[in-house]
Amino acid sequence: MDYVYIARAGENEELKYSLRSIEKNMPKGRVWVLGYRPVWYIGDFIYIEDTAKKFDNIRNCIKVASEHPEISDDFVLMNDDFFALKTMESVPNFHGGLLSNKIKQYKELGMASVYIRLLELTHKQLVMSGIKDPIDYDIHVPMVMNKNKLRESLNIAYFPRSAYGNFAKIGGEQIKDVKIYNSTKKIQLDKNAYFVSKFSYKERLLKQYNFCGYESLGFLDYIKQKYNLSQKIPIINFGNSPNPSWFYADLKDSKDSNKAIFLSYGRNQEKFYHLYNLYNFNKYKIIERFESCYYVVRR
C-alpha cells in the first residue's frame, strides 16, 4: 500500500523526519510526494502547483491521487508533519468523535474563525447528504483511503477527510487529536498515541504559505495581531500566487480604503503593469514593511 504525502514548497525538513518514521515504524510501501519536491527528495513525485486557497489545493492533490493509475488502489494519506511513534503491522483508522463536538471545542479554544466556519460547512453538507451525526476525521494522523470511494466522496463536503470517512463508513477508534494551543489551554496528546503531528493548525497554515512570499500569511497575521485589526483591509498581491484576502474573512467589512497591504511588491512589473498603474506607490506612506510585503496608508 502506497503512502501519499501532500508537501508544501521549500526545503521541508519535517518531511524528511516523517519519512524516516514511517520507514522505521509502519508497513512497507511506495512513497509518493504530491505538490512540491524538496531538493533532497529523489523518490516518486507529482508536481501540483498551488492555484487556490490552501484547503482547495489539498482537495486538488487528493483528487489527483485518486485518479493516478500508478498509485495503489488503497493508499495512506500523509501530511509532511506526521510522525509515527510506534511499530505497527497495519494502519488503523482513527477519528476525533462527533464533528459537532469539535466545532464547539474549537470555538471555546478561540481557534481561527475561518477554519471553524469551514468545519461548520462540512458538518452541514454531511447532514444534508443523509449522515445524521457526522464523525470528525480531520485529525492529524495518517488515513487509509480507497481511490474509488474517494472519488465518489470528494464532492460531498468541503473537507475531504471527513467526507471520505463518513461516506465510506470506515469507523475506527476515537482518539484525542494532537496538541492544540492557545494562550491559556493545551490539549495533551494521549501517551499511548501511535502518531504525533508537530504543528498546530495555525502553525501549519503559516508555514505552508510563508511569512513574505506566496500568499504571505505570516505577514498578514503579523499585521493583524500587531495592529489589532477589526476590519478588512484591501490586499493586493503582485505575485503569481492567489490573493489571500480569505485570511481576513473573520474581520468586519470596511468602507475605508485608505489603508492597504501590498504583497510581492516590485516583482512581475511587466506582467502586472495594470496593478502598478492602479496602485501608484508614491501615493502611499509605509506603516510596516518586511522585504516585499508592505502595510501602507494613502498620503
Domains in the chain with CATH codes: 2-203 (3.90.550), 210-298 (no CATH)
More confident residue, 2 or 189: 2
Neighbours of 172 (CB within 10 A): 16
In angstroms, the CA 109 to CA 94 distance is 22
| Among 107, 167, 112, CA closest to 143 | 167
pLDDT of residue 183: 40
| Among 143, 142, 149, 157, CA closest to 197 | 142
In angstroms, the CA 57 to CA 35 distance is 9
Residue 126 has pLDDT above 90, yes or no: yes
Please tell me the pTM assigned to this model. Answer: 0.65
pLDDT of residue 278: 80
pLDDT of residue 100: 96
Please answer whether residues 196 and 85 qualify as being in contact, where contact means their C-beta atoms are separated by less than 8 angstroms.
yes
Distance, CA of 264 to chain centre: 21
290 bridge partner residues: 293
DSSP-derived 3-state class of residue 133 = coil
Lowest mean pLDDT among 153-157, 204-208, 248-252, 280-284: 204-208
Question: How confident is the model over 59-115, as pLDDT tens digits?
Answer: 889 999 999 999 999 999 998 888 888 888 899 999 999 999 999 988 887 766 677
Distance, CA of 57 to chain centre: 8
**Nine-digit cell string for 177:** 487529536
235 bridge partner residues: 261
Cβ burial, residue 162 (10 Å; 0-12/13-18/19+): buried
Q: Give the mean pLDDT of 211-216.
A: 76
Question: How confident is the model over 226-237, as pLDDT tens digits?
Answer: 888 888 888 988
Mean pLDDT over each residue of the chain, to the nearest integer? 83
Distance, CA of 6 to chain centre: 10
Torsion, Cα of 225, 230, 231, 236 (10° steps): 10
pLDDT of residue 196: 55
Question: How confident is the model over 240-280, as pLDDT tens digits?
Answer: 667 788 788 778 887 667 899 998 887 767 766 777 778 88
User: pLDDT category, 182, cuts 50, 70, 90?
Assistant: very low
pLDDT of residue 47: 94
pLDDT of residue 112: 63
Please answer whether residues 26 and 92 qualify as being in contact, where contact means their C-beta atoms are separated by less than 8 angstroms.
no
Distance, CA of 89 to chain centre: 29
In angstroms, the CA 177 to CA 155 distance is 25
Lowest mean pLDDT among 49-53, 54-58, 133-137: 49-53
DSSP-derived 3-state class of residue 238 = coil
| Among 290, 241, 200, 191, CA closest to 54 | 241
For residue 117, CA distances in Å to 42, 82, 89, 104, 170 come to 38, 25, 37, 11, 25
DSSP state of 149: H
Share of the chain above pLDDT 90, in %: 38
pLDDT of residue 181: 44
In angstroms, the CA 179 to CA 141 distance is 12
Question: How confident is the model over 128-138, as pLDDT tens digits?
Answer: 999 999 999 99
